[in-house]
Amino acid sequence: MNHFIYRIDRLLSQGQGRQILYMAIVVTVLVGLFWGISAAFGLSFTIGQIIQLILAPGEFVNHGEDYLAYQVIVNLIGLVLVSSLLISLLSNIVENRATAFSRGLLRYRFHDHVLFLGADEMLLDTIVGQCDPHSRQPIVVLTENDAEEERKRLMAQLQDVSLRRRLIVLYGHRTQREQLISVDAQRAQRIFIIGEPNEEDHDSKNILSLSLIKDLVQENTTPVECYFLCNHLSTLRIMQLQTEPLPAPLHLTVMNMPESWAQRVLINGEGYPSINRHENPSADDKEYVHLVLLGASQMAYALAFTAAHVAHYPNYFTQGLRTRITIVDPNMDIHSDFLRSHYASLFRLSHYTHLRWEQTPKGRQAVKETHVPEPDNDFLDIEWQFITARPETPEVRELIAQWSKDEQQMLTVAVCTDETRTNLATALYLPDSVMSRQIPVLVYQSTNAALAEWTKGFTRFKNIYPFGMREDCYDKTFRSRLEWAKQANEAYENNAVRLNPQRKRKHWHDLKLTLQFSNLYSANYYHSVLRHIDPQYHARLEHQRWMTERLLLGYKAMDKAERIRIEHLPEAEKWKEMERLDPYFEHPNIQPFEELTEESVRKDEVMVQLWNNSTPTTHS
C-alpha cells in the first residue's frame, strides 16, 4: 500500500507534461474498457458517447431507459477517476509551476539579454551600473544561491521599476554546460561572470565558466561581450599573459576587484585625495610621493602595483626623487620573499630596503637590509620598503609619525589588512600627527562603509577614506578609460599602417590581452597624471611607466651588451629577434631612456602625441 501511495505522490510531483500524459492514458484506458464492455453486452455505445459519459458526469446519451444503469455506473466512475483527477492535475500543475518559479527552476527563451553568472555582493551594484533603465532587455541571473531569497533581496534593493520588472532570477550552476545552454548564454548580448559569495575556488569556477562560454559562442555571427571577474591578482596576471586567440564572437574584458578599487582610488579620484598633492607635478617639486600600506593583503598589493603604474613624475629626472611604496606586515619576511621571487626582474632593478626589529641583550635593535641596483641597471623611479612588524608596534608608530612630519614627503597611509573589522580601529588610533596634519588615510572595508562614513563626521577624522566595498564595486569611469584605450590603439594602428603599409591592422579584439591591458594602463596614466605635466617630459615618463608595466608582467631586462647587439641588427632581423625573445619574457627596451634607439624613442613620442590629440568619448 505504501509503495502504491509513493507512486501516486511521485506522479503528482513530476513535470506537467508527464502528468497530462498519464491523465490521457487513464482516460484512454477507461474509454477502451467501457466501450469493450458495451460491445460485449450488445449495448452498442459509440466511443464518442463513452467519452461524453466519462468526461461529463450527469450527462446521459439518448440510448433508452434499459441502459440507464450502465450510464450511471460510467458517470460515477468518470466522476471519481477523471473529474477529480483532472481538478487535482490542474491545481497540481499550477502549484508545481509556482513552486518551480520561486525556486528558479523554470526556463524561458532569451535573446539579446544581459546574463549574470553568480550572485555575490557585487551583483546589485553591477546591475544598476551596467543595465540601461530605459532598455527592455531581460536581466537574467543564474545563481547557485537560493533563487527565491536572491530575488527578494534584489527586488527590495532595486529602486528602478524597469530593472525590477525585467529581472529574472534562475537557479543553476555556471560551471555546467547544460545550465548555460538553458539560459541561452550563446544568444546573450552581454555576459558578466561574477561568481558566488565566499567561494574558495571562485576564480577557478569563473575560468571554467569562461571556457564553456568560449565553446558555446564559436558559431555565433554576432559578438558577445563577456566581462570576467577574478578576485586574486595571480589570476589576473595569468589572464594578462593569455596568448591563445579567443573566438572572434567573444569580446572579453577581464576585471579584478582589488585592482578596480585601486584604480578608483589612485586614478579616478571619486572624492579620494591624490597621492601627489601638486595639481600639475613639475620637475622643480621638492617633495616625493610616499604610499604606506599597513597590511599585505590582495588589496594592498593592488594599491602598490597601481601606484607603481601611475606614480611617475618629472622630478626624478631633475632631482632623483623616487616614489616610495612601503608595506608593513608582521609576516613581511614571507611576503617580501614572495614579491622578490615572483617579480625578480623588477626588484633586481629597484632600490628596496627591508626593516625588522630583533630582540637582543641590549633591547630591540633595528636590522636593515638594503638593495641598490648595479649602476647599469639603476634607472627605475619607484623604490620599495618592507617592514616586518605589526602596525601598532611603537617602532612603526614612531616611523609613521616621522613621515607625517617630513615636509619633503607627500604621505598617504592605507590600512588594508584582510581583517577589515579591525582596519577602522587601526586607522583611528594612528599617531596624532597623522590626524592633526590631515594626512589621507585609506581604510579597506570589504562589505560596507557605514561606520567609517559616520566616523568622518568628526573633525578629527575627516582624513579617513573608506574603500574596497564589494557592495559599491561599480567603477563609473571604467568604460570611459576602456574607450580611451581602444581609441589609442586605433590611432596607434593607423600610424603603424601608414609607416608600414604591409603591416596587418590589429583592432582591439584582435589584440592579446597583454596588449589590451598595456593600452588601458597607458590610458590610466595619461588621463590621471601625464596630461598635467610639462610635455617635454611626456616621452621619458611614458617610457618609465611602460618599463614598470612590463616588469610587473614578468618581463626581464637584458644585459647591456645583449641590448647593444640587438640594436645593431638590421631592421628585419631585429624584429625577428624580438619576436623570438617575447615568449621568454625578455625585452631589449627595458633600459634607460637615454640609451634607447631613435626608433624606440619615436615610439614613445608617437604614443604620447596620440594621447595629446585624442578626444575620448565618455560613458557613465
Q: Is the pLDDT of residue 448 over 90?
A: no
- Distance separating alpha carbons of residues 26 and 28, to the nearest angstrom: 5
pLDDT of residue 65: 58
Residues 135 and 120 in one domain: yes
pLDDT of residue 373: 95
- Distance separating alpha carbons of residues 402 and 347, to the nearest angstrom: 26
The rounded percent of the chain whose pLDDT value lies above 70 is 88
Query: Which one, of 248, 147, 252, 150, lies nearest residue 193 by Cα?
Result: 252
Residues 464 and 544 in one domain: no
The rounded percent of the chain whose pLDDT value lies above 90 is 50
Q: Is residue 375 part of a domain?
A: yes
| Res. 301 pLDDT band, cuts 50 70 90 | very high
Q: Is the pLDDT of residue 355 over 60?
A: yes
Helix (H/G/I), strand (E/B), else coil: 71: helix
CB atoms within 10 A of CB 65: 7
Q: Is the pLDDT of residue 177 over 50?
A: yes
- Distance separating alpha carbons of residues 484 and 492, to the nearest angstrom: 12
Determine the structural domain holding residue 483 and report its residue range.
478-613
- Distance separating alpha carbons of residues 76 and 331, to the nearest angstrom: 83
Segment 569-611, tens digit of pLDDT: 776 777 777 777 777 788 888 999 998 888 778 877 877 777 7
Query: Which one, of 45, 10, 12, 17, lies nearest residue 31 by Cα?
Result: 45
pLDDT of residue 32: 81
Cell of 318: 631633475
The number of angstroms, rounded, from the C-alpha of 20 to the middle of its chain's C-alpha atoms is 45
Domain boundary among 102, 137, 162: 102
- Distance separating alpha carbons of residues 488 and 274, to the nearest angstrom: 25
Alpha helices in 188-232 (DSSP H): 202-216
Q: Is residue 518 part of a domain?
A: yes
- Distance separating alpha carbons of residues 322 and 290, to the nearest angstrom: 9
Residues 93 and 142 in one domain: no
pLDDT of residue 2: 46
State the DSSP code for 264. I
Residues 444 and 529 in one domain: no
Residues 88 and 145 in one domain: no
Mean pLDDT, rounded, for 89-110: 81
- Distance separating alpha carbons of residues 478 and 60, to the nearest angstrom: 75
Q: Which helix (H) or strand (E) holds 291?
A: strand 288-294
Number of H helices, E strands in the chain: 26, 16
Q: Which helix (H) or strand (E) holds 139?
A: strand 139-143
Residues 46 and 162 in one domain: no
Q: Is residue 618 part of a domain?
A: no
Query: Which one, of 257, 258, 308, 273, lies nearest residue 416 by Cα?
Result: 258
- Distance separating alpha carbons of residues 459 and 173, to the nearest angstrom: 49
Whether the Cβ atoms of residue 404 and residue 434 lie closer than 8 Å to each other = yes
| Res. 14 pLDDT band, cuts 50 70 90 | low
pLDDT of residue 617: 44
Q: Is residue 556 part of a domain?
A: yes
- Distance separating alpha carbons of residues 109 and 135, to the nearest angstrom: 18
pLDDT of residue 243: 66
Q: Is the pLDDT of residue 497 over 70?
A: no
Longest dimension (CA), the chain: 122
**Residue matched to cell numbers 614572495:** 338
pLDDT of residue 3: 47
- Distance separating alpha carbons of residues 85 and 384, to the nearest angstrom: 78
**Which of residues 364 and 611 earns the better pLDDT score?**
364
Least trusted range by pLDDT, from 165-174, 256-265, 339-348, 447-456: 447-456
Domain boundary among 237, 261, 285: 261
Q: Is the pLDDT of residue 327 over 70?
A: yes
Residues 44 and 183 in one domain: no
- Distance separating alpha carbons of residues 102 and 100, to the nearest angstrom: 5
Whether the Cβ atoms of residue 550 and residue 517 lie closer than 8 Å to each other = no
Residue type, 291: L
Domain boundary among 35, 67, 102: 102
Q: Provide the domain count of the chain.
A: 4
Residues 396 and 502 in one domain: no
For position 158, which CATH number holds?
Answer: 3.40.50.720
Averaged pLDDT score across all residues of the chain: 85
**Which of residues 250 and 327 earns the better pLDDT score?**
327
Q: Is the pLDDT of residue 215 over 70?
A: yes
State pTM to two decimals.
0.83
pLDDT of residue 391: 94
| Res. 181 pLDDT band, cuts 50 70 90 | very high
Residues 435 and 508 in one domain: no
Cell of 216: 558555446
Least trusted range by pLDDT, from 11-15, 82-86, 357-361, 525-529: 11-15
Residues 119 and 93 in one domain: no
Alpha helices in 529-570 (DSSP H): 538-552, 560-567
Q: Is the pLDDT of residue 170 over 90?
A: yes
Q: Is residue 440 part of a domain?
A: yes
Segment 329-340, tens digit of pLDDT: 999 999 999 999
Q: Is residue 74 part of a domain?
A: yes
**Which of residues 458 and 442 earns the better pLDDT score?**
442
Mean pLDDT, rounded, for 386-406: 96
Q: Is residue 268 part of a domain?
A: no
Residues 177 and 278 in one domain: no
Q: How many residues in total does the chain contain?
A: 620
The angle subtended at Cα 309 by Cα 308 and Cα 315, nearest 5°, is: 70
Half-sphere exposure of 115 (CA within 13 A, CB side): 32
Cell of 505: 591592422
The angle subtended at Cα 373 by Cα 331 and Cα 598, nearest 5°, is: 130
Q: Is the pLDDT of residue 494 over 80?
A: no
| Res. 379 pLDDT band, cuts 50 70 90 | very high
Q: Is residue 441 part of a domain?
A: yes
Q: Is the pLDDT of residue 534 over 60?
A: yes
Cβ neighbourhood burial of 83 (10 Å; 0-12, 13-18, 19+): middle
Cell of 294: 599597513
Query: Which one, of 304, 235, 236, 314, lies nearest residue 266 by Cα?
Result: 304
Residues 467 and 358 in one domain: yes
Least trusted range by pLDDT, from 49-53, 183-187, 323-327, 421-425: 49-53
**Which of residues 423 and 577 earns the better pLDDT score?**
423
The angle subtended at Cα 351 by Cα 349 and Cα 354, nearest 5°, is: 125
| Res. 6 pLDDT band, cuts 50 70 90 | very low
Residues 6+ apart with CB under 8 A from 228: 193, 206, 210, 239, 252, 253, 254, 255
| Res. 542 pLDDT band, cuts 50 70 90 | very high
